[in-house]
Amino acid sequence: MLVELWSVGRYPLLAALLVSLAVAGALVLSRKWHLRLTDDLEHYLPQKIHVGAVPRVGGVAIALGVIAGGLVALDGLGNLVIGPRALGLLLGAVPVLLIGLAEDIFKCVRPRYRLLAVAIGAGISIQYASIALLHTAVPPIDAMFTFYGVALGFTVFALVGATNAFNIIDGLNGLLGGVTLITMAGIAAVAWHVGDLKVEMLAAIVAAATLGFLPFNWPRARLFAGDGGAYFLGFVTAALLLLLISRHAGISPWFGITAAVLPLCETLYSILRRRQLHSATTDPDVGHLHQLLREWALRGRALRALKAYRILRSVPGFDRRSSWHGFRPPNGSVSPLLWCLHAAAVSVGALWYESTPTQMLVIAAFVLVYRALYARMARFGEFPLAGAL
């Protein structure tokens, strides 16, 4: 698969990677000129875990990388990759990206307007990319999907839900980028199995643009994707999955859930948690799994640092007035744990992409592991609802 991608599409992939890398680097180097608009300090949101201001407009680098890769593919490969449906998909992502960037800069866009912009983008992609989901492989539900309005409404709901789900996991160094790369690898693998070069190349272009951004976000965060980047990646991921499923009847529609299982599970769990806590579903909090894992790692690292400091204090000649400077928050070390969890589900789902029972089994197993891990972390951190969820 990799040999085929490189031989056919090395120039679009290099364009996506290098443009994203260059734009991300430029955003970091020029931060003193735009940080007053693009920083993440204005409201001191509870999920912020970094000291100091970090630009949150990395979505610009990712989007420009995807556009560059698409343009090179259009020029060199033409209809082989970038057809009318691909253009319609990318066109639908434009209002999603813009509303996310507006929130990143102005920080006052109401959730209803953001949802409306994503719904408009979904409508554009459905109209011009023909990605409406017309079956679910579950006969009782499929009976309702014979009405196009039901299929249309569900597709819009899926695109809006995935867009917001990817935004939820953009709270830890490298988590969003890593999950996106894993999901794109799963999409590309299934597309390769069914001989769909267009979807395979599109997924690879998105992965290359994400890879260009990732060095500035992990392990040290000098740039965040922000709402613009998270919305863009979530929307494009969901649209690519719908495009792949709509083009190949043999692919289980449930693979669309398996391929994005971590952000989707996090979103559903967050809704349940906030309802039981009687708070609005749009209110930010620090109860996500990646935040609890970071807290667990932070306490463990702080304890080890304290023990090391006490040992050093017992060494003759050690200046007892000095402080311990070897401690670093584990902002970049937790994401790989969740990458592995997500990759396990995506890998099995991609291997058995035709089997709906297998997809359901993978999703159920992931939810059980997620619940067990969450319960353990919540008890450790004394987070509300530790026993209820």
Per-residue model confidence as pLDDT tens digits over 220-255: 899 999 999 999 999 999 999 999 999 999 999 999
The tokens 């304890």 sit on which residue?
Answer: 303
What distance in Å separates the CA atoms of residue 174 and residue 332, rounded to the nearest whole number?
7
Identify the pLDDT of residue 174.
95
**Residue entry with tokens 């969820």:** 389
**Residues 29-47, mean pLDDT to the nearest whole number:** 76
| Residue 48, pLDDT score | 62
227 burial level (CB within 10 Å; 0-12, 13-18, 19+): buried
* Per-residue pLDDT reduced to its tens digit, 60-77: 999 999 999 999 988 777
Phi then psi dihedrals of residue 245, to 5 deg: -70, -40
Average pLDDT across the chain, whole number: 86
**Is a pLDDT exceeding 70 seen at residue 210?**
yes
CB of 261 closer than 8 Å to CB of 345: yes
Q: Which residues of 192-208 are buried (b: 16+ CB within 10 A; e: fewer)?
A: bbeebbbbbbbbbbbbb
What is the pLDDT at residue 262? 97
| Best CA proximity match to 252, nearest among 92, 362, 160 | 362
Tokens of residue 32, six digits: 């003193």
pLDDT of 156:
95
Helices (H) and strands (E) in the chain, counts: 15, 0
The token pair at 102 is 């507006």
Give the whole-angstrom CA distance, residue 315 versus residue 319: 9
Contact between residue 237 and residue 342 where contact means Cβ atoms under 8 Å apart:
no
Asked if 173 and 221 touch (Cβ cutoff 8 Å), the reply is: yes
Distance CA 229, CA 383 (A): 29
To the nearest 10°, the Cα dihedral for 174, 180, 184, 186?
Answer: 90
pLDDT above 90 as % of the chain: 57
DSSP 280-335: -TT---S-SHHHHHHHHHHHHHHHHHHHHHHHHHTSTT--TT---------TTTSH
Among 65-74, 119-128, 142-151, the range scoring the smallest mean pLDDT is: 142-151
What are the DSSP calls for 48-111, one per residue? --SSS-----THHHHHHHHHHHHHHHHHHTGGGT--HHHHHHHHHHHHHHHHHHHHHHHS---H
Cβ distance 145 to 136 under 8 Å?
yes
Please, which pLDDT band fits residue 202 given cuts at 50, 70 and 90? very high
Query: Token pair for residue 211?
Result: 């890879």
Does residue 258 register a pLDDT over 70? Answer: yes
Q: Would the pLDDT of 131 be above 70?
A: yes
Can you give the pTM of this predicted structure? 0.90
Q: Which stretch of DSSP H or E encloses residue 142? A: helix 139-144
Query: Residue 220 gets which letter from DSSP?
Result: S
